[in-house]
Structures are given as C-alpha cells and as structure tokens.
Chain A
Amino acid sequence: DTEVTQTPKHLVMGMTNKKSLKCEQHMGHRAMYWYKQKAKKPPELMFVYSYEKLSINESVPSRFSPECPNSSLLNLHLHALQPEDSALYLCASSQEDGSYEQYFGPGTRLTVT
C-alpha cells in the first residue's frame, strides 16, 4: 500500500483565518514532505521532515508553519495567508530522506479570499 491521505480536500479561508492541513501515511516512512503546486506548474518543495524533525525549510514565509506530531502524521498550519497562496498543497512521503521513491497524496485545494 502506497497511500498518503490528506484532509480536507478543499479549503476556502479568509486572510485573517487560521486553518490546518493534515497528512497521514501508514507505510512506515520516516520522511515526509510538503509541496505547493500552482496550476500548470510542477510541485515546489516547501518543507522536509526526517524522523519527525524539520530538516529542510525552503525559505517558506512564516505564515506557513509545519508540524510533525508523530511518524505517521504531518500538519501544515496556516495563518494570515495571502490570495497568492491559493494553490494545491501536496503531502508526500518516502522511506527515508534521500530515498528515491516519493509517494504523493491527493492534495488539498486551498483558496484564500
């Protein structure tokens, strides 16, 4: 089973709201990733967690705050977002940070109004 699940599927939020995106995998993977994907563009890496510790932050604005509560869960906390943050947010996982295969979830379609 190579399933990564994400909730919610769709999210509409105002610029003053606080919301969270959730990601879960039960493959025993120790690396988890957040990507942002704009329409007709490839995914852009935001954060990497390795063994529940943040290992890479691709200079993402602080209005995005990742959290890894345990080895199966990954959250992305959102606060004071801008309309240009509207995108598909993808979670992915791999056996380890540095492993070849990455498996993506279905994404959360975020709209900031």
Chain B
Amino acid sequence: QQQVKQSPQSLIVQKGGISIINCAYENTAFDYFPWYQQFPGKGPALLIAIRPDVSEKKEGRFTISFNKSAKQFSLHIMDSQPGDSATYFCAAKSFGYGNKLVFGAGTILRVKS
C-alpha cells in the first residue's frame, strides 16, 4: 500500500515534443505528490508538486495532472529540451510526524536534439 508505481522506466523524446511520465498509488492517505528531477551526480531537486484538492498544476513547461478517483498522477513536459534530460522521480507523502516520502522507481528521460 505504500508503493508508488512509475512508468515508463525510460523515455526518448524529440526536442520540442511532449514528455509524459505516469505514477499510480494505492494509499489514499497520501495528500502530497511531488516530482523530483535528478541530473547525473547531483541530488534530486524538487520540480513541482500538487495536493489532491486540484486536478492540475502548471509551472512553466511542467504540468502535473492529478486524477484522485483513479489514484494516478502524471508529469507533462511541454516543448521538451535536451537540458531536460535527467531522471524523474514521482513521490507521495501524507502530512504528519514519521510519515515518509515514498518514491517511484524513476524514469530516465532523454531528449534528442
């Protein structure tokens, strides 16, 4: 129940295209869903996050879509650029002492120029 399932494992997109990464969860207590971006040899950086009271959140070229009834959320990267090539992790968490950030397995994105 604590798992977050992420797909695909890897993704190749042409420059200017849309990258889509999907995640699904089971634990309905989760109420915070962040995405982290990690470049090789660096730590994960918080990219964008959503709470379940909204169905979509957009920041620049990055959009999270959230479907509470399906217990799924996804990251869309519009106009993908080679500089977006990185590993993306979705995660989920419920607020409160001792509640951990649960990560998906990660998606390696490569944007071809």
Q: CB of A109 within 8 A of chain B? A: yes
- Count of interface residues, chain A, beta-carbon cutoff 8 Å: 28
- Count of interface residues, chain B, beta-carbon cutoff 8 Å: 25
Q: Is the CB of A42 within 8 A of B96?
A: no
Chain B residue contacts of A48, Cβ below 8 A: 98
Describe B's contact surface by its main secondary structure.
loop
Q: Is the CB of A100 within 8 A of B95?
A: yes
What residue in chain A is nearest B51 (Cβ atoms)? A100
Q: Shortest CB–CB separation between residue A9 and chain B, in angstroms? A: 9
Q: Shortest CB–CB separation between residue A13 and chain B, in angstroms? A: 19
The interface bits of chain A over 43-87 (1 if a CB of B lies within 8 angstroms of the residue's CB, else 0) are: 101001010000110000000000000000000000000000000
Q: CB of B108 within 8 A of chain A? A: yes
Q: Is the CB of B103 within 8 A of A97?
A: no
Q: Is the CB of A42 within 8 A of B97?
A: no
Q: Is the CB of B93 within 8 A of A100?
A: yes
Chain B residue contacts of A50, Cβ below 8 A: 97
Chain B residue contacts of A109, Cβ below 8 A: 41
How far apart sit A4 and B44, CA to CA, in the bound complex (Å)? Answer: 11
What residue in chain A is nearest B100 (Cβ atoms)? A45
Neighbour of A102 across the interface among B46, B95, B104, B106, CB < 8 A = B46
Q: Shortest CB–CB separation between residue B43 and chain A, in angstroms? A: 4
Q: CB of B69 within 8 A of chain A? A: no
Q: CB of B12 within 8 A of chain A? A: no
Q: CB of B101 within 8 A of chain A? A: yes
Q: Is the CB of A42 within 8 A of B89?
A: yes
Query: Shortest 7 CB-CB distances between A and B: which pairs?
Result: A42-B103, A104-B43, A100-B32, A98-B97, A98-B96, A106-B43, A107-B43
Sample of 12 more A-B contacts, CB < 8 Å, known A40-B108, A45-B100: A40-B87, A42-B104, A56-B100, A88-B41, A96-B97, A101-B34, A101-B46, A104-B43, A106-B43, A107-B41, A107-B42, A107-B43
